[in-house]
Amino acid sequence: MNLYAFLGFSALFNAITGIMVAIVLYKKKYNSKIAKIFIFQCLLIAAWGMLYFFPFTPENKTLSLLSFYTLHLASNFITVAHFHLVCHVLNIWETHKKYVKAGYLIHLVFWLFIPTQLFIIDIVPKFDLAFWPIPGPLYYIWLVSWSFFIVYPAILLYQHYRKAEGLRKRQLKGFLVGTLVGLSSGSTNYFLFLDINIPPYLNILASVYVCSIAYLIARYRFVNFELNLLHFLQKTLSFSLTIVSLFSLYFYLNQIATIERGGALYLVGLVFALALYHIFESIFTNSRLLSHILRLSDFESFEKAIGDFKEHKTFYSNKKQLEKALDELFIEKIQLESAQIIEQKPLEKNFPKLYKFFQTNKGTLVNEEVELRQAEQKTRIPYASELKKIGEVCCPIHANEKLIGLLVLGDKKVGNYFSLEELNLIDQVGKHLSLSLSAINYNETLKDEVEVKTEQLKKANAKITKSYKKLQELDALKDDFISIASHELRTPMTIIRGYTDFLLSEKFGSVNKQQKEFLTNIFESTKDLIHLTNNMLDISRIEAGTFNVHLEKTDLSKWMKKMVDDFTIICEEKQMKISLEQKIKKKNLTFDRGKFEQVLKNIIGNAYKMTPNKGKISVYLTEDKNQYTIEVKDTGPGIHKDKQEIIFEKFQQLETGLKKRYSGSGLGLNIVKKIVEYFGGKVWVESAGIPGKGSSFFFTIQKKLPKKIELQSVT
């Protein structure tokens, strides 16, 4: 009974293993010949396991005979498919395809005769088994052919293994061991056919073939197998150990007592099986034992580390920061031997063949694969030697279709070779790094350019500084000249105006009409010259820092009214209206009344000159928390926007037409600007530049004076 139970378990285990691997491969949608043949072989092994049902029918001769017929129908092509697979693995298909095709044809003929007495005559009790087949004459011929397609591929594998190197040698070694253990163990069925009392206990090892090839595929990337093999093996072993535990418990309980089968027992068994499965899975998942024994890396950990890296930071500003992040990811977390970035210039200089290759190719290169390709194709790949020197994995980093560097990784310290999924993730890291590397390269280029420009600017600045000092000296001389000239001019101008005034008063004799007209012109011109001289002196004092401040407490409302009233009479001469509107709460203000009278007179005077007859000048006084704002609005020709800034500069006036119409030195508004800004305020103009719409001049008086003025004496 125990033998039957074990054979049933081994058949079930082989069937499940074959189906699971076939499904995983099929879901990955592989198009390679190796993958397709291996899927076909897995399905044959799975079918053989499922049709191996005679242990479940030990009392039924008919069903047992049917089982032997069907299991041979399934196993008939297993070894031929194995030979087919080996031919593609060894790249000898072209020279051996005739033998493979002949093998399929021969076994197709055998397949037609399997359900006949030529193949199995009958089934009879044999040794410990209730039924076992008596082979027919054709069976022995079939067995020789079936064995040939195990032995001959093994010889071919061994021959190629001896000549192979590196990854290829490890691949073939694993394939050879899997073949000998897996398919040879399945051959233990045939001892009983030859009347040798060795039960087929090793049948269970038939799944070793499937598992070993799957392991090779994942570990050595036979067909770019995208499978987390560690995760797959964890589940497979958990399931296997659960079944083994259940069978062991069943055997033990059968020995100590007779168990009656029932629904409750099956339910308890199911619950127990689920609990065992979760226990085993938890042990394998949380323990690194399986990983170290099989030298497999955990893809889920690999994927999580890459995901965390990409989410943590998208941009690295300098090389040190980037190198540190790569070390943490690939060396500390993923456990690779090395990780570095080789930039475009060193790559082009030291590895020109690799540089040329990656200029037009974006795929990741793996050193072992390139070596394998060279061995298979028996040709020299130009960049292979450079790749071997540089590292195990090279991932190009492109930006705007231009190669800017390589992400170079060493081999895994412990674990399988890089799977296709892992290489895809590494490729994503390469794309992720393109932004940072581009920015770093740009910053370095910019830094170099800045250093060059800075050096150029330093030289230019030295020249400018030298020129500026000369200009300062000239400016100082100019200010001294203006100050001296103004003083010297003002005295004779004042004398001329005084004598002219005396003559006009006719105290020293009468003058005729023409003489009076001449004297009046002299008097007005002298008056203008004195005004110009005073303006020049004011500007010179402000710029020289010898500006005298006279602060006094004043009723701002009354002061504004007086200033407007002073212009009322002259406005009436041109039939102009001038008005004042005040909206203030606090009237008393400490400020330099004389200086701001000069400011307001200049602005209202300009408005008067610009406003035509029957025009209007409006003056507004408003208040906010920190300052008073005075607006003077006229109905003159307005000021174009491109002139609104320059009118406050020295010797600047409006366009030629206005110069002819309105006289002036171009110093008045500059003095206004300097006085207002000296006291912490600001001045500006607003105008649409449309005739008749006029302009609005604004200036502010601060309630709290600047510290430099507060320190001066209040008179």
Is the residue at 484 inside a domain? Answer: no
Tell me the pLDDT tens digit for each residue of 519-544: 788 877 777 676 667 666 666 666 66
DSSP string, 414-452: SSPPPPHHHHHHHHHHHHHHHHHHHHHHHHHHHHHHHHH
Q: How far is CA 348 from the centre of its chain?
A: 25
- Please check whether residues 287 and 321 belong to one and the same domain: no
Residue 647 or residue 184, greater confidence: 647
pLDDT number for residue 661: 44
| Bridging pattern class, strands 339-343 and 402-409 | antiparallel
pLDDT number for residue 655: 47
SS3 string, 255-323, reads HHCCCCCCHHHHHHHHHHHHHHHHHHHHHHHHCCHHHHHHCCCCHHHHHHHHHHHHHHCCCCCCHHHHH
pLDDT number for residue 539: 66
pLDDT number for residue 662: 44
**Backbone dihedral angles phi then psi of residue 151, each to the nearest 5 degrees:** -70, -50
- Please check whether residues 280 and 186 belong to one and the same domain: no
At residue 332, does pLDDT exceed 90? no
Structure tokens at 104: 């399929």
Is the residue at 531 inside a domain? Answer: no
Where is the domain boundary, 438, 468, 486? Answer: 438
Query: What is the spatial distance between Cα 85 and Cα 149, in angstroms, rounded to a whole number?
Result: 11
Where is the domain boundary, 414, 438, 462? Answer: 438
Is the residue at 75 inside a domain? Answer: yes
Structure tokens at 390: 């540089």
- In this structure, what DSSP letter does residue 330 have? I
Provide CB contacts within 8 A for 119, sequence distance 6+. 69, 72, 110, 113, 135, 136, 138, 139, 142
pLDDT number for residue 475: 65
pLDDT number for residue 486: 57
Is the residue at 81 inside a domain? Answer: yes
Is residue 342 within 8 A of residue 405, CB to CB? The reply is yes
Tell me the pLDDT tens digit for each residue of 423-472: 888 888 888 888 778 777 777 777 778 888 888 888 888 888 888 788 77
How confident is residue 251, by pLDDT bands cut at 50, 70 and 90? low
- Please check whether residues 18 and 92 belong to one and the same domain: yes
Computed over every residue of the chain, the mean pLDDT equals 79
Query: What is the spatial distance between Cα 157 and Cα 376, in angstroms, rounded to a whole number?
Result: 14
Which CATH number goes with the domain that contains 188?
Answer: 1.20.1070
How confident is residue 159, by pLDDT bands cut at 50, 70 and 90? very high
Is the residue at 510 inside a domain? Answer: no
Q: Residue 399 belongs to what domain range?
A: 299-438
Tell me the pLDDT tens digit for each residue of 60-73: 888 888 988 998 89
Q: Average the pLDDT over 287-306 and give the result.
A: 67
Query: What is the spatial distance between Cα 366 and Cα 390, in angstroms, rounded to a whole number?
Result: 11
**Backbone dihedral angles phi then psi of residue 551, each to the nearest 5 degrees:** -90, 140
Tell me the pLDDT tens digit for each residue of 186-212: 677 777 777 777 777 677 667 777 777
Which CATH number goes with the domain that contains 360?
Answer: 3.30.450.40
- Please check whether residues 42 and 76 belong to one and the same domain: yes
Is the residue at 179 inside a domain? Answer: yes
Is residue 621 within 8 A of residue 604, CB to CB? The reply is no
Where is the domain boundary, 438, 453, 479? Answer: 438
Name the pTM for this structure.
Answer: 0.48
- Please check whether residues 215 and 235 belong to one and the same domain: no
Residue 11 or residue 601, greater confidence: 601
- The candidate with the shortest Cα–Cα distance to 419, out of 280, 232, 238, is 232
Task: Report the number of distinct structural domains present in the chain.
Answer: 4
